[in-house]
Each structure stands twice: as C-alpha cells, then as structure tokens.
C-alpha cells in the first residue's frame, strides 16, 4: 500500500518497541513520551495498512508484518549510523582502528608504521582477540579456507625450525616422520596457526603432539634457540629472526606446507579507514611476492 514516506524517527521508535516489546520501556530508552511512541506506531500501521504488533498478556509481540519491517528498519538505521560515521571520518580524518593480528606478529610493527606515515592522524590499536576489533589479520590452511568476503594478501611456505646443533641442522629439508620423536613447540594463542600446523601433520599421516605451548612467537623463537625443541614457522616472516637467533629453517618434504594470509572486515560496514588499511596491506604484501 502506497503512503507517506517513513521517517527515521519512526523507524527508531518502532525498532525500540520491537526490542522491548513494551511501549513504556521503549519510550524511556529513547527519552520520548510514551504517548508519542504509541502515536508513531499507530501512524506506521495506518500508512502500511497492517498491524505491526499484537497485544499479549505481558506486553506486545510482533506480527509477521512487524518482523518484515524490523528487518528493513535495522538495515536502514545501521546504514544511517555508518553514513554519519564515515562522513565524520572524511571531514576530520581522525578516529580509531582496532586490528586483531593473529598472524604476521613480526611484520605488524612495520605495517603500522608505514600506514601511519601514509594515512595520517588515526589512532591504531592492536588486539589479541577479534571481539571488538574492526579488522582481523589471520591465516588459513588453504585458499578455500579463507573466509568469504576476506581479502587474500599473501601465501608463504611453512618450514620446520631447528636449533643449531640439531642432528638435521646442516640439511636443507626434512620429513616430519624423521622428527616424530622431537618435542614440538607450539603457539597457543592462535587457533588458525594451530589448525595449519595440525593440517601439515595430517598431510604427512601423523598427529601433532605439542610438548611445549607458548603464547608468543618471540618466546617460541627463544625456546628454539635454547634447544628446547623444534617448531613449525612461517618461512618469510621469521627467516631473518631465526637466523639472528641461531635457528635453522628446513623445508618439509612429506607434507603440504603453506599458509594463506588474509584480512577480514569484522563489522558490517567498511569505513574509509578500513578500506585504506586494507589497500595498504595489499600493497605491502604485493611487494613481497
């Protein structure tokens, strides 16, 4: 039914009533008089020619038509908030960007420094958890495992890191079966890296058994240099660090050994700063190809 154009304030009030299923509580949440909210709902129902709520013993319940309107109202209200935020960001080029970096720990400081120099006045935060973050920098076991909508940045070989003095330290490659009795040092703070490691072992027909678990790659390298065990590491990211620590990287002969680094937007909307950071990551990793 064609009627008057709906206003944003009507959709806000409708969404609040849908959330609380109570006119009074919805009005209080919006700091609006309850009769005004009731009038808004009546006007919407009149314009649409359909009841949006039905009364129950405890309050209100959405009708089928109310469910339909709520789905569109949420999209419209989210788009309004996103538009306001992006306009504000474009006017002042300020704000914040929180990045959850579960991969590329050794590269992240260089990435942030380069982006800050190029982009300007933007507060950057690094988080160890995706919750509350704007972007996720992570890795997957294959191209097919990269999440839908994420941007694939780079893929690199996974190698075995062994300390100097290890029986295979002078070799260029090794099979995982030859290391079956060696203690493996495994990162405990990255679920994706653990999945990649387990996949590599399975492709060699083995199960991974972690002798030592640690929560940082830097600690893992120190444990390696002390001869506490061997580990799977990303060849490109850690090659120089391993060499400086007296740790050798060996190719793996009997397994599929690559990881696929990607960046994923965690929110519904890609702001200007998110797009800029993603574009910078693409340029950064393209130089490494």
How far is 115 from 109, CA to CA, in rounded Å?
Answer: 10
- Measuring CA to CA, how many Å separate 138 from each of 2, 82, 222? 48, 25, 23
Predicted local confidence at residue 215, as pLDDT: 81
Predicted local confidence at residue 194, as pLDDT: 84
Count of all residues that appear for the chain in the document: 289
Cα torsion for 28, 29, 33, 36, to the nearest 10°?
-140
For the structural domain made of 154-258, what CATH number should be given? 3.40.190.10
Predicted local confidence at residue 1, as pLDDT: 46
Instruction: Output the pTM of the full model.
Output: 0.65
Predicted local confidence at residue 92, as pLDDT: 58
Predicted local confidence at residue 104, as pLDDT: 84
Give the mean pLDDT per block of 10 residues along the chain (289 residues): 77 94 93 95 94 90 95 91 74 74 86 89 84 90 92 93 93 93 86 86 87 86 91 82 85 88 85 89 90
Predicted local confidence at residue 268, as pLDDT: 67
For the structural domain made of 8-92, what CATH number should be given? 1.10.10.10
In the chain, where are the structural domains located? 8-92, 96-137+261-286, 154-258
Contacts by residues 74-80 (CB-CB < 8 Å, ≥ 24 positions apart):
74/15, 76/8, 76/11, 77/8, 77/11, 77/12, 77/15, 78/268, 78/269, 79/269, 80/8
Q: 224, 230 in Cβ contact below 8 A?
A: yes
Q: 226, 197 in Cβ contact below 8 A?
A: no
């Amino acid at each position: 039914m064609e009627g008057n154009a709906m206003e944003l304030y009507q959709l806000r009030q409708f969404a609040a009533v849908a959330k609380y299923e109570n006119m009074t509580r919805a009005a209080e949440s919006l700091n609006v008089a309850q009769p005004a909210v009731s009038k808004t709902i009546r006007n919407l129902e009149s314009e649409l020619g359909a009841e949006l709520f039905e009364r129950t013993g405890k309050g209100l319940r959405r009708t089928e038509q109310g469910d339909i309107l709520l789905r569109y109202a949420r999209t419209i209200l989210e788009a309004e908030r996103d538009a306001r935020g992006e306009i504000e960001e474009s006017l002042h080029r300020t704000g914040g960007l929180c990045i959850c970096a579960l991969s590329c720990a050794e590269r992240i400081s260089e990435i942030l420094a380069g982006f800050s120099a190029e982009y300007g006045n933007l507060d950057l935060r690094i988080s160890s958890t995706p919750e509350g973050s704007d972007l996720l920098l992570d890795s997957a076991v294959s191209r097919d495992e990269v999440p839908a909508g994420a941007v694939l940045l780079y893929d690199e070989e996974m190698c075995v890191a062994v300390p100097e003095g290890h029986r295979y330290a002078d070799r260029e490659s090794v099979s995982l079966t030859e290391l079956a009795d060696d203690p493996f040092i495994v990162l405990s703070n990255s679920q994706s890296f653990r999945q990649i490691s387990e996949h590599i072992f399975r492709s060699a027909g083995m199960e991974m058994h972690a002798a030592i678990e640690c929560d940082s790659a830097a600690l893992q390298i120190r444990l390696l240099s002390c001869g506490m065990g061997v580990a799977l590491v990303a060849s490109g990211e850690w090659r120089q660090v391993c060499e400086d620590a007296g740790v050798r990287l060996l190719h793996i002969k009997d397994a599929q050994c690559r990881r696929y680094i990607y960046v994923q937007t965690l929110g519904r909307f890609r702001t200007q700063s998110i797009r800029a950071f993603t574009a910078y990551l693409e340029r950064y990793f393209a130089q490494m190809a």
